[in-house]
Chain A
Amino acid sequence: MKNAGKFPRRAFLKGVGAILSLPYLETLGNASNAFAATGASKTAPRRFLSVFQPNGVFPKAWDSAFAGGKYALENSPILSPLAHLSKDILPISGLSNEGTRGHVQMTGSFLTGVPIKGVRNAISLDQMIARKIGGSTLFPSIQLGTEPPRQGGANGSPISLANTISWSSEVSRLSPEINPRVAFDRLFRTPNSPEAKQRAQRRQSVIDIVLDDANSLRRKVSSRDQNKVDEYLDSMRALEVQLEKTINPPEREWEPLDEPDLRRPPSGIPRERDAHLRLMMDIMVLALWTDTTRVGTLMTAHGFSRQNFSFIDGVNSDHHGMSHHKNEDDLVAEYVAVSNWYASQVAYMLDRMKAIDEGNGSLLDNTIVLYGSGMKDGNGHKKDDLPILLAGGGNGAIKTGRHLACKARTPLANLHQSLAEKFELEDQVASFNGVGTGTVAV
Chain B
Amino acid sequence: MTRRSIATGNRCRISPIKRLLQTFTRRLGASWALALTPLAFSDESAEPTASFDETLLPMMERYCFDCHNPDKAKGDIDLTGFASSEQMQTDRGLWRLAMDLIELEEMPNEGPFPSAEEREGMIGWIDSVVNDRDWEKNPHPGYVTIPRLNKTEYNNTMRDLIGIDLRPGDFFLEDGEGQSGFDNDRSALFVTPSLLDNYFQAAENALSSVRFLREGDPISLHWESEDMFMTETKSVPLPFPNEDGPGGYDLNRGQMTLYESADLPSDGYYRFRIRARRRGGPVGAILRIDDVAMGDLRIESTETEIYEIVALVKGGTRQVAWNHNTVFPIAEKKGSVHIDWVEIEGPILKEGTALRVFEGQPEDGKRERFVASKSIRELGSRAFRRPMARGEVRKYMTLYDRVRKEGGDFNDAIQEAYTGIFVSPQFFYRTEQLSKRQPKRDQAFRVDPYAFISRLSYFLWLSMPDDELFALAESKRIFEPEVLRSQVDRMLRDERSRAFSELFLGQWLGFSPLGKSFLPDSRSFPEYTFTLNRALKKEPVLLLESLLQEGGSLLELLASDRTFVNAELAAHYGIGGVTGDAMREVKLEDEKRGGLVAMASVLTATSTPVRTSPVLRGVWVLETLLGQRVPPPPPNAGDLPANAGNNKAKTLREELVQHREQEACASCHERIDPIGFGLENYDAIGRYREREGKLPIDSLGVMPDGSSFNGPVEFKRYLMTHRRDDFARNVIERMLSFALGRELGVYDQPAVKQIFDSLESDDFEAIRLVEEIVSSFPFQYHTDQPLDSI
Contact = CB atoms under 8 A, between A and B. Distances in A.
Q: Do A and B belong to a common assembly?
A: yes
Interface in B289-339: 291, 316-317, 319, 321, 323
B396 A209 contact: yes
Given A160-B291, A213-B395, A225-B146, A150 B234 contact: no
A236 B196 contact: yes
Contacts of A207: 423
Contact of A152 (B255, B291, B425, B433): B255
A238 interface: yes
B231 A302 contact: yes
Contact of B145 (A217, A225, A239): A225
A308 B249 CA distance: 15
Contacts of A150: 231, 255, 257
Contact of B434 (A220, A231, A302): A220
A308 B233 contact: yes
A182 interface: yes
B195 interface: yes
Nearest to B190: A231
A306 interface: yes
Interface in B143-188: 143, 145-146
A151 interface: yes
B234 A210 contact: no
Contacts of A225: 145-146, 433, 784
A231 to B, nearest CB: 5
A214 B192 CA distance: 15
A159 B255 contact: yes
B786 A229 contact: no
Interface stretch (A9-17, A197-205, A360-368, A406-414): A197-205
Given A160-B291, A205-B402, A148 B321 contact: yes
A206 interface: yes
Nearest to B230: A308
B429 A232 contact: yes
Interface in A134-148: 147-148
A306 B146 contact: no
Contacts of A308: 233-234
For chain B, give the interface size range. 35 or more
Given A148-B291, A212-B395, A231-B191, A181 B317 contact: yes
A136 to B, nearest CB: 22
A159 B256 CA distance: 12
A263 interface: no
Contacts of B423: 206-207, 210
B263 interface: yes
Contacts of A178: 319
Given A181-B317, A228-B145, A268-B261, A209 B441 contact: no
A135 B323 CA distance: 40
A151 B263 contact: no
Contact of A224 (B317, B319, B784): B784
B229 A269 contact: yes
Contacts of B424: 209-210, 213-214
B193 A239 contact: yes
Given A148-B257, A206-B416, A239 B197 contact: yes
B196, B399, B419 — most chain A CB neighbours (10 Å): B196
Contacts of B197: 239, 242
Nearest to B434: A220
Contacts of B708: none
Interface in B346-386: none
A217 B426 contact: yes
A37 B578 CA distance: 78
Interface string B422-455: 0111100101011000000100000000000000
Contact of B232 (A235, A238, A268, A318): A318
B197 to A, nearest CB: 6
A179 interface: yes
B190 A148 contact: no
Contacts of A268: 261, 263
B204 to A, nearest CB: 7
B229, B319, B419, B423 — most chain A CB neighbours (10 Å): B423
A370 to B, nearest CB: 26
B513 interface: no
A206 B425 contact: no
Contacts of B416: 202, 205-206
Interface in A213-228: 213-214, 217, 220-222, 224-225, 227-228
A217 B399 contact: no
A159 B255 CA distance: 9
A268 B399 CA distance: 38
A344 B425 CA distance: 58
A178 B231 CA distance: 13
A119 B461 CA distance: 37
A409 B146 CA distance: 62
A75 interface: no
Nearest to B189: A228
B212 to A, nearest CB: 16
B234 A317 contact: yes
B404 to A, nearest CB: 13
Contacts of A224: 143, 145, 784, 786
A227 B263 CA distance: 45
A202 B257 CA distance: 42
B564 interface: no
B254 interface: yes
B200 interface: yes
A261 to B, nearest CB: 22
A412 to B, nearest CB: 27
A214 B434 CA distance: 13
A158 to B, nearest CB: 11
Contact of B317 (A182, A202, A227): A182
Nearest to A318: B234
A202 B190 CA distance: 25
Contacts of A172: none
B398 interface: yes
Interface string A238-275: 11001000000000000000000000000111000000
Interface string A295-334: 0000000100011100000000110010000000000000
Nearest to A198: B406
A402 B429 CA distance: 66
Contact of B195 (A199, A203, A235): A235
A225 B786 CA distance: 11
Contacts of B291: 148-149, 160, 175
Nearest to A267: B263
A318 B235 CA distance: 9
Given A151-B254, A210-B425, A224-B784, A217 B431 contact: yes
B439 to A, nearest CB: 11
Contacts of B399: 205-206, 209
Contacts of B200: 203, 206, 239
B485 to A, nearest CB: 32
Contact of B231 (A147, A182, A209): A147
B747 interface: no
A382 B54 CA distance: 74
A181 to B, nearest CB: 6
B420 A210 contact: yes
A235 B196 contact: yes
Contact of A307 (B190, B233, B257, B321): B233
Contacts of B100: none
Contacts of B103: none
15 contacts: A148-B319, A150-B231, A175-B291, A179-B261, A179-B317, A181-B317, A203-B200, A205-B402, A213-B424, A213-B425, A213-B426, A229-B425, A306-B232, A307-B231, A321-B234
Given A206-B420, A213-B395, A267-B263, 17 more contacts: A152-B255, A159-B255, A206-B200, A209-B396, A210-B420, A214-B425, A217-B429, A225-B433, A228-B146, A229-B425, A232-B191, A235-B191, A235-B196, A269-B261, A307-B233, A308-B233, A318-B234
Shortest 6 CB-CB contacts between residues of A and residues of B: A308-B233, A222-B784, A238-B193, A318-B234, A152-B255, A152-B254
